[in-house]
Copies of this chain bind each other. A is one copy, B any other.
Amino acid sequence: MRTIDWDYTNNTIIMIDQTLLPRENRVIECRTIDSLCEAIKSLRVRGAPALGAAGGFGVALAAQISTAATLAGITHDIETAGKTISATRPTAVNLSWGVNRVTRAVEEAKNIQEARMFALDEARLIADEDVEKNRQLGKHGAKLLEDGDTVMTHCNAGKMACVDWGTALGVIRSAVEAGKDIKVISCETRPLNQGSRITAWELMEDSIPVTLITDSMSGHVMRKGMVDKVIVGADRITADAVFNKIGTYTHSVIAKEHGIPFYVAAPVSTFDFEQFEDDIEIELRRLRRWMWLFITLRLMQPLWKM
């Protein structure tokens, strides 16, 4: 199944709970906005494009479960839900992008029934378009990879970060599909191990050779000539910076030091050229008493200078 989808039988959002991977491949249902927000905050669904679909399906869910008797009432419920959903991951621009797109689609509605229908159709369209966009991104990106390349990646910009196929891993999948022999080095991605839990699992499921390393090993493997290219996804790309999982900036400096090409694979929805680095609030999470964790962080001013 897709990473996130609409269940027409029960009128709910269904998704693979990514916090349980790779041990368990469990599908969970979100019947309320609160449960969707919890799933987003807990990273049960994560990754920029998947969050776009989650935002869209969230507004669609708000439209289905609204008990308002008027079009103004359902519009109010949708807007309230949209704000709540967008606030769960402030750096993830795709989330509010999905929310806004479906909210705007509802503006065309002339009655409650149309509002519900338009919202769901638009949310479905976001999901379908995302799969098609990733396929296109993969097709174009695959040209950058050569037969025999070893490609390093960080975090998970794969199928599980999107609705299907993946951005950074989509490029790798498309290159493999085109007959190229590609090996992958996946960084563990502390603190939540998306690299070891999700990326390595996804690639093993697809029989693409993958070696897992600790994040700090990137310097060693690049110095030893074990990496031909680096490719990562992005949470947000502003006019002056790429934002992505903590560690991406570190890998980019190491790649620059060793003259290794560093690519960011991201769909247009990730671009946000009206904002600048300093406008973006970074998500901080505190685990235990003395452990600060920066989940999403700025990537690579140095890259612009390369």
Contact = CB atoms under 8 A, between A and B. Distances in A.
Interface of A: 154, 187-191, 196, 200, 204, 210-220, 223, 246-247, 249-254, 256-257, 290-294, 297-298, 301-302
A209 B99 CA distance: 43
Contacts of A251: 216, 219
Contacts of A214: 190-191, 215, 246-247, 293
Given A188-B190, A250-B250, A217 B290 contact: no
Contacts of A219: 247, 249-253
Q: Top 5 nearest A-B pairs by Cβ distance?
A: A216-B247, A219-B250, A215-B216, A190-B214, A219-B249
Nearest to A154: B216
B292 A213 contact: yes
A247 B291 contact: no
23 contacts: A154-B216, A188-B191, A196-B291, A200-B290, A211-B292, A212-B292, A213-B292, A214-B247, A214-B293, A215-B215, A215-B216, A217-B247, A217-B250, A217-B294, A218-B250, A219-B247, A219-B249, A219-B252, A220-B297, A223-B298, A223-B301, A254-B254, A257-B302
A211 B292 CA distance: 7
Nearest to A213: B292
Contact of A253 (B189, B212, B254, B298): B254
Contacts of A249: 219-220, 223
A80 to B, nearest CB: 35
Nearest to A249: B219
A294 B212 CA distance: 11
A64 to B, nearest CB: 40
A216 B249 CA distance: 9
Max chain B CB contacts within 10 Å: which of A210, A251, A294?
Answer: A294
A290 B211 contact: yes
A290 B212 contact: yes
Given A223-B249, A253-B253, 20 more contacts: A189-B216, A190-B190, A190-B214, A212-B292, A214-B215, A214-B247, A215-B216, A216-B216, A216-B246, A216-B247, A217-B246, A217-B247, A217-B250, A219-B247, A219-B252, A220-B246, A220-B249, A220-B297, A253-B254, A257-B302
Contact of A291 (B154, B212, B292): B212
Contacts of A301: 223
Tell me which of A216, A294, A302 has the highest count of chain B C-beta atoms within 10 A of its own C-beta.
A216
